[in-house]
């Protein structure tokens, strides 16, 4: 969490906590936008989100992911995080990919798997992230490579 | 067949899925630069057989197709001659069962949807953007583009939050000066 705020400080991203629960039936947890007039990136998070530390961390990481992956937008438009998403746009996927890689190192992932995590939810619980972030992380090249080796070794042993 | 044919076909297949080079690279377990190399007509690289098979499996096509053996080059210009994916086949077979009247309605609706997508892609130029002028319909169109149908109140609500945050930011900045 501190590392994330270090990034927002370093990059000069203004983070604000606002009431969002009345929007989108409470499914909107945060969004990122860039104001070209002020030359300023913003992240807005639901004001009560700190009650759920894992969600807080993952939503913030995803919004920072937008900052790094969306080309400096020439306009103000939000890139949002929803609690329950069925569809991911390419931009959302890019941001989530960034967030997943930032929040879960390959070392963490190995630790989780060696500790006996067998499902996405096990891994998410072990690493204090949302299942969505864990899923995205497992789809990344280095994780897939490691997993296929790991599964290979195990079936060889048994 | 020329190698550039493979480059064009790979790019076409990838874009058809809406994937970036990075995403395809992840699926194939290679680097993004490698994909860029495959897609570069100048470099004209052809992957080794193991990767070729992976590509064919990923896109459900034959290696003959990838290498341009099953489609003449002139047919390539028209996407219509390309095999349909599962979703497209399903869509077409559904439409074929409809009465001519209903088919026409589907056509009109699809054209309407396409026009809204095109509108959503149009972005205002930087100098013309004023925070106060943030256009609700454009905001809504963008959101809809990103997430599918949205509640119109959502765009209004988000705009209010943005204005509030901008005001707060201006005050904080004044104070710290």
Query: Nearest by CB to B154, which of A24, A79, A93?
Result: A24
8 A C-beta contact, residue A21 and residue A46: yes
Name the band, by pLDDT with cuts 50, 70 and 90, for residue B146. Answer: low
In whole angstroms, what is the distance from residue B43 CA to residue A94 CA?
27
Q: Greater confidence, B22 or B112?
A: B22
pLDDT number for residue A134: 92
Please name the residue of chain A whose CA is at the shortest distance from the CA of residue B152.
Answer: A24
Residues A11-37: what's their mean pLDDT? 86
Task: Please give the DSSP secondary-structure letter assigned to residue B83.
Answer: P
Quick one: residue B150, left, alpha or beta (phi over 0 = left, psi -120 to 50 = alpha)? Answer: beta
Cβ-Cβ pairs closer than 8 A, A with B, add up to: 87
A91 touches chain B (CB under 8 A): yes
Share of residues in chain B with pLDDT > 70 (%): 69
Name the minimum distance, in Å, from the CA of B2 to any CA of chain A.
Answer: 31
8 Å CB contact of B129 and A75: yes
Closest chain A C-alpha to B139 CA, distance in angstroms? 6
Q: What pLDDT is stored for residue A87 in this prediction?
A: 63
Report residue A16's pLDDT band, with 50, 70 and 90 as the boundaries: very high
Distance CA B123, CA A77 (A): 10
Which pLDDT score is estimated for A127? Answer: 93
Q: How far is A19 from chain B (nearest CA, A)?
A: 8
Least confident among A99-113, B68-82, B112-126: B68-82
Option in A23, A37, A140 nearest B157 (CB): A23
User: A89 with B142: CB under 8 angstroms?
Assistant: no
> In this structure, what token pair is assigned to residue A139?
């789809």
C-beta pairs of B41-48 under 8 Å, 24+ apart in sequence = B41/B3, B41/B4, B41/B7, B41/B8, B43/B7, B44/B2, B44/B3, B44/B4, B44/B6, B44/B7, B45/B3, B46/B3, B46/B6
Task: Let me know if B78 is exposed, middle or buried by CB neighbors in 10 A (0-12, 13-18, 19+).
Answer: exposed
Q: Do B145 and A82 touch (CB under 8 A)?
A: no
Rounded to whole angstroms, what are the CA distances from A68 to A13, A81, A85, B169? 11, 15, 21, 21
Distance of CA B75 to the CA centre of its chain: 23
- DSSP state, B79? G
Other CB atoms within 10 A of residue B140 CB: 20
Of B131, B143, B164, the CB nearest to A18: B164
Chain A residues in contact with B157 by the CB 8 A cut-off are 22-23
What is the model's pLDDT at position A99?
92
Q: Which of A21-25, A49-53, A78-82, B153-157 is the most confident on average?
A: A49-53
Strand order in the sheet with A40-46: A14-18, A40-46, A28-35, A79-82
**How far apart are alpha carbons A88 and B116 in whole angstroms?**
19
Q: Is A18's CB within 8 Å of B146's CB?
A: no
Distance of CA B100 to the CA centre of its chain: 30
Q: Does the beta-carbon distance from A44 to B147 stay under 8 Å?
A: no
**Which tokens go with A80?**
């949002």
Residue B145's SS3 state is helix
On chain B, the residues whose CB falls within 8 A of the CB of A145 are: 29
């Amino acid at each position: 969490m501190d590392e994330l705020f270090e990034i927002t400080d370093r990059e000069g991203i203004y983070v604000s906590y606002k009431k969002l629960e009345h929007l989108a039936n409470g499914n909107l947890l945060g969004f990122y936008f860039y104001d070209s007039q002020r030359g300023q990136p913003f992240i807005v998070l639901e004001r009560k989100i700190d009650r759920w530390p894992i969600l807080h961390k993952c939503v913030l990481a995803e919004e920072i992911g937008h900052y790094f992956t969306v080309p400096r937008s020439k306009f103000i438009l939000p890139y949002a995080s929803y609690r329950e998403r069925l569809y991911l746009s390419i931009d959302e996927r890019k941001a989530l990919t960034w967030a997943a890689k930032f929040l879960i190192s390959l070392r963490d992932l190995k630790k989780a798997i060696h500790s006996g995590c067998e499902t996405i939810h096990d891994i998410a619980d072990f690493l204090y992230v949302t299942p969505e972030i864990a899923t995205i992380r497992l789809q990344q090249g280095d994780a897939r490579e490691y997993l296929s080796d790991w599964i290979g070794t195990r079936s060889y042993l048994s | 067949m020329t190698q550039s044919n493979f480059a064009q076909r790979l790019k076409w297949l990838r874009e058809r899925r809406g994937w970036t080079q990075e995403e395809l690279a992840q699926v194939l377990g290679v680097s993004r630069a490698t994909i860029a190399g495959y897609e570069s007509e100048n470099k004209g690289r052809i992957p080794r057989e193991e990767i070729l098979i992976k590509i064919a499996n990923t896109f459900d096509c034959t290696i003959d197709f990838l290498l341009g053996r099953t489609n003449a080059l002139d047919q390539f210009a028209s996407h219509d001659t390309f095999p349909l994916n599962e979703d497209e086949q399903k869509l077409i077979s559904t439409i074929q069962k409809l009465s001519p009247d209903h088919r026409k309605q589907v056509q009109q609706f699809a054209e309407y949807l396409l026009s809204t997508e095109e509108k959503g892609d149009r972005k205002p130029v930087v100098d013309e953007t004023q925070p106060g002028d943030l256009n609700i319909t454009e905001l809504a169109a963008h959101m809809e583009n990103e997430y599918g149908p949205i509640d119109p109140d959502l765009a209004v609500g988000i705009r209010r939050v943005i204005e509030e945050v901008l005001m707060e930011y201006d005050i904080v900045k004044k104070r710290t000066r």
